[in-house]
Amino acid sequence: MLKKREFPKDFLWGSASAACQMEGAWNIDGKGISIADVTTSGTAKLARKITLEIDDRYHYPSRTAVDFYHRYKEDIKLFAEMGFKIFRFSISWPRIFPTGWEEEPNQLGIDFYRNVINELKKYDIEPLVTMYHNDLPIEMTKRINGFASRESIDLFLKYSNVIFQEFKDDVKYWLLFNEVNILTRPTGNWWHSGIIHPGTTDFRNQVDDEKIRLQSLHHQLVAGARAIKLGKAINPDFKFGTMISHDTVYPLTSRPADILLAYEQDQLRNCFCSDVRIFGEYPFYMKRYLERKGIELDITSGDLDDLKSGTVDMYTFSYYQSTCVTTEEIEDTVEGNNTRGVKNPYLQVAGEWNWQIDPEGLRYTLNKVYDRYHLPIMIVENGLGFVDNPIYNNDGTITIEDNQRIEYQKRHIEQLALAIDDGVNVIGYMSWAAIDIVSLGTGEFKKRYGYVFVDCDDEGNGSLNRHKKKSFEWYKKVIKTNGKEL
């Protein structure tokens, strides 16, 4: 029996990141242009534009990001100092295959990731690789509308084969498509699938075609299942995780209609993709959903066989907040990184981006998904974006008292500990993010998440020098005491 609030001895503490938000070096060493490289900066109010070509009138924050490409040694050293046991990063597909169609991979891209992995290993930090985190080669959008085309499956498998073969002895944990379930909503078109419909000019107001979007989600589900089979043939010890953006949904009231709506929304937004990944088939409620919408997807018998045989080993998810739903017309809404919903009268809303904070929702979610799937769980993103106010000291150092960040994570880790007490098998916690990086949703820099402050503003000005925040020491202590001191 575990004593109260005791994390398992080998618990994987760490943090996460993504290539297109961190690496920069957008056109260096043979890298192809990605969809992130043609998405401009924005704000909470002003949507990021999608320009398809580089247009010099705009600022594209992913071009330089925080230049992890050149500073990875310095950054990984800081992660090691905090005591990370695991670090989640993504491989940028266009660094390996610049357009997607090359016969041979780009060796310099492979070398970069080998160096990153070696550096992590030097400090005994386990790499956790996301294979696709929102940076499709732009050529795939231009030629085949991203994952809307079935051809994307083979292109993904070619890319998967290269990274599996190259890193088969160094990487054990793999995540397939970041937050794959966001494709159940129109937001998913661009980042998650590289789809652009005529008329779409910005990220927030995308023209949507539900049939094409769900077809492209199907292609990702199949591509992922086939990649799992391929990966396991290369190294049977590989462990694959689904990556779900868990959009925890509550009914606003106890009216049965609200309860039913919340239940259905949970099925569609959260359970559908993980059910397919874990149970190996489309659930009945999704078949019903498609039927009622009159959507007929192109699903072959080969697809169904592969979904059945290519299932994941762990449930991995991001958790930021919960929202409510109701059948009534309500105007009091809150935002999230990927979601918008009705405000919960019992929860506090924090920060400039109007996020609803719900640590207990994490315990609820952990219990819910463990009860459904009985698989080991990793939390691979959890954090709060807000503006840090650096104090510039006379000796040239910078002090950042990011108490809000500490408070947010402390309250979530407390609930995680309670879920472990409940008996949920959680094997790792990765906050978002290890270091300040570009915000995906708004393209801002001032929306910060890291334990390490990066000197950079929304226009891309700054030295990019790194400074430890107060949360750096705090998280170091959390890891050192294995979650006992929060």
| Residues marked as catalytic | 179, 381
Using the minimum distance from each CB to ligand BGP, give the nearer residue, 109 or 441.
441
User: Which of 239, 447 has the CB closer to ligand BGP?
Assistant: 447
Residue 178 in contact with ligand BGP, rule: CB under 6 A: yes
220 is a site residue for ligand BGP (CB under 6 A)? no
Q: Provide the minimum distance between the beta carbon of 134 and ligand BGP in the complex, in angstroms, as a whole number.
A: 6
Nearest in space to 266 (alpha carbons), one of 329, 213, 325:
325
User: Smallest distance, Å, CB 90 to ligand BGP?
Assistant: 9
Q: Is 318 in the site for ligand BGP (CB under 6 A)?
A: yes
* CB contact set of 111 (below 8 Å; sequence gap of 6+): none
User: Under rule CB under 6 A, which residues in 246-285 are in contact with ligand BGP?
Assistant: none
Cα–Cα dist 288/271, whole Å? 14
Cα–Cα distance, 375 to 241 (Å, whole number): 10
Question: In this chain, which stretch among 29-37, 98-106, 438-446, 475-483 interacts with ligand BGP, using CB under 6 A?
Answer: 438-446
Closest by CA to 163, choosing from 151, 152, 175, 149, is 175
Q: How far is the CB of 461 from ligand BGP (least distance, A)?
A: 20
Question: Which residue, 337 or 415, has its beta carbon nearer to ligand BGP?
Answer: 337
What is the number of the residue whose Cβ is closest to ligand BGP?
A: 441
Distance in Å, CB of 12 to ligand BGP, minimum: 19
Q: How many CB atoms lie within 10 A of CB 335?
A: 18
Q: Could you tell me which residues come within 8 angstroms of residue 275 by beta carbon, excluding any fewer than 6 positions away?
A: 281, 282, 283, 286
Note whether 179 binds ligand BGP by CB under 6 A: yes
Short-list 71, 74, 64, CA closest to 21: 64
Binding mask 387-426 for ligand BGP (x = CB under 6 A): ----------------------------------------
Burial bucket for residue 409 (CB in 10 Å: 0-12, 13-18, 19+): buried
Q: Is 245 in the site for ligand BGP (CB under 6 A)?
A: yes
Instruction: Pick the piece of the chain touching ligand BGP (CB under 6 A) from 106-114, 195-203, 288-296, 441-449.
Output: 441-449
- Please choose, out of 302-310, 394-402, 413-421, 432-440, the segment that lies near ligand BGP by the rule CB under 6 A: 432-440
Between strands 348-350 and 126-132, the pairing is unpaired
Stretch that binds ligand BGP, among 143-151, 359-367, 405-413, 433-441 (CB under 6 A): 433-441
The one-letter code for the residue type at 286 is: M
Binding of residue 18 to ligand BGP (CB under 6 A) = yes
| Binder of ligand BGP out of 362, 440, 454, 478 (CB under 6 A) | 440
Residue 240 CB contacts under 8 Å (≥ 6 apart), including other chains: 174, 175, 176, 228, 231, 312, 313, 314
**Could you tell me which residues are beta bridge partners of residue 90?**
130
Identity of the residue, 415 or 442, whose beta carbon is nearer to ligand BGP in the bound complex: 442
φ and ψ at residue 188, rounded to 5 degrees? -70, -20
Quick check: 13 and 88 in contact, CB under 8 A?
no
Query: Which residues contribute to the site for ligand BGP (CB under 6 A)?
Result: 18, 21, 178-179, 245, 318, 337-338, 381, 385, 432, 439-442, 447
